[in-house]
Structure 1
Amino acid sequence: MTVALMWEARAAADRGEELLAWARAQSVDGTPLRRETFRAPQDRVLVITWWDAPYDADLPELPEPDAALVIRPVHRWRFESVGDD
């Protein structure tokens, strides 16, 4: 089974590039099948990692950034693949 972990944060004012650089520099224990980093308006940063694991597996996640770097707690979601359409 493939599980995708999504990590999304919104940067504090004028700190979007810093948050993006911070997220890109973070490593996770183990080796995901794939990892992608995205950015969006309002200085949001999204990181998705894909893992070959059961849905409820204990998987490594990106940490919380320093509170001064973000305007709210990180949002996290977990999804399982249902195959390609």
Structure 2
Amino acid sequence: MTVALMWEARAAAGRAADLLAWVREREIVPEPPRRETFTAPGDRVLVITWWEAAPDDAGLPELPEPPPDLIRRPVHRWRFAQVES
């Protein structure tokens, strides 16, 4: 089954470019089959990784919490399981 992990953070004032750079420098080990990074208004950075795993697989690696000076609030994390369309 395909599982998507979403990681979203809101940058501290004036730190959006720094947060994006920090995210790009972070490796996920093991590397996911697919990883995409997005930005959005409000200085938000979103990373989605895709895995072939069970939805409740607690061992899937995720990006860590960024340094406190880069973010306005704790990171939001969601886990989604693919369903048939």
Could you tell me the TM-score, scaled by structure 2's length? 0.95
- The residue identity in structure 2 corresponding to 1:81 is Q
Aligned to 2:22: 22
Asked whether 1:9 is paired with 2:9, we answer yes
Deviations 1:18-44 (A, max 9, x none): 101111111111121200000001110
- The residue identity in structure 2 corresponding to 1:18 is D
User: Which structure 2 segments of 5+ residues have no match?
Assistant: none
* Structural RMSD (CA): 0.8
Could you tell me the TM-score, scaled by structure 1's length? 0.95
Deviations 1:51-72 (A, max 9, x none): 0000111100000000010000
Instruction: Give 4+ residue runs of structure 1 displaced > 3 Å after superposition.
Output: none
